[in-house]
Amino acid sequence: MPKIVISDTSTLIILQKIEQLDLLQKLYIELVTTPEIAEEYGEELPNWIKVESVNDKKYQMLLETQVNNRRGKCNCISKRI
């Protein structure tokens, strides 16, 4: 299994609805998401989910021309990791 996973909102919401959000913690060493996804989730995230902002804005803008805004940010974080 991967050590680090970059999560989007739908994954968090679906697992929370079926009361299995902690499954991610059991499967992966580290889970990372962006502040935008954390806000869209709408509830406080567990402390084991790390929230990181995008550092490479130029790369983010390039990715956003090909995918939506949130996916571009997640891809920027994954590039850094």
Please say whether the beta carbons of 31 and 50 come within 8 A.
Answer: yes
- CA diameter of the chain: 38
Overall pTM surpassing 0.75 (yes/no): no
> What's the pLDDT tens digit per position in 15-58?
999 999 999 888 888 888 888 889 999 999 999 998 887 666 66
In angstroms, rounded to a whole number, what is the distance separating the alpha carbons of residues 49 and 41?
12
